[in-house]
Amino acid sequence: MTHAIVLVEAERDVMSTLGGALAEVDGVREAYSVTGEWDFVCIVHVKQHEDLASVVTGQISSMHGVARTHTMVAFEAFSRHDLETMFSIGE
């Protein structure tokens, strides 16, 4: 499984609709509107690393209103659940 964080800059005329459209893309687990330099953050999970290209360049980057993207592939995934389990060993 490959996990990636995709930052999305959007054109102003699609700000109210792009978040929902991003969330509907196969492989996008979550989409958030955010403040700062980027307008949206997508959490992407795909079965194989090769599938990432079709999600990011084939679908997200080609969507109407997407000005640019920046993708960061995760090396390891941590969650609160994982950390709580790790620190509770031996209790």
CATH code of the domain covering residue 40: 3.30.70.920
DSSP 55: H
Q: What is the count of structural domains for the chain?
A: 1
pLDDT at 80 (0 to 100)? 67
Confidence check: pLDDT of 23 > 90: yes
pLDDT of residue 31: 97
Is the separation of the CB atoms in 2 and 51 below 8 Å?
Answer: yes
As a whole number, mean pLDDT of residues 26-42 equals 97
Distance CA 86, CA 16 (A): 40
Overall size of the chain counted in residues: 91
Closest-CA residue to 57 (of 47, 43, 45, 71) = 71
Question: Across all residues in the chain, what is the average pLDDT?
Answer: 90
Residue 27: domain span: 2-87
Burial of 55 (0-12, 13-18, 19+ CB in 10 A): buried
In this predicted model, what pLDDT tens digit does every residue of 53-82 receive, in sequence order?
Answer: 999 999 999 999 999 999 999 998 777 666
Rounded to two decimals, what is the model's pTM?
Answer: 0.84
